[in-house]
Amino acid sequence: MPVRFISRLSEYDKKHLGFYVPKHVTNFYSLKPGRYKGGVSLEFGDVTSCPINLTKFKHTLRGRLPPNVGKKGAISEVWIYRDTWIAPKEK
């Protein structure tokens, strides 16, 4: 069963869009930075399955979507499969 929450898409960097994971979702489901399988349902009915990268940002997590997924400012439902977690690479 995936973790689902609503978020607004915003700029992550020049090529990607991103979203913030609400603090209560991060705490309740014990989400950690890393890569997950999941997807996004956009407000216009478009549904996409894509890898989701979560990184630590201030006191919560920030997610990055692949290029060409979604539009800036769109409200979306994000779903993440917790059992597909892959740890981030060490620098």
Span 67-91, pLDDT tens digits: 888 888 989 999 999 999 998 876 6
Domain count, the chain: 1
The answer to the question of residue 8 being in a domain is yes
Residue 58: predicted pLDDT: 87
CATH number at residue 13: 2.40.30.30
User: Is 91 inside any structural domain?
Assistant: no
Could you give the CA distance from residue 86 to residue 65 in angstroms, rounded to a whole number? 16
- pTM for this predicted structure: 0.84
Specify the 3-state DSSP secondary structure of 53. Answer: strand
Tell me which residue range forms the domain holding 22.
Answer: 3-86
Among 20, 17, 25, residue whose Cα is nearest residue 62: 20
Sites in the chain below the pLDDT cut of 50: none
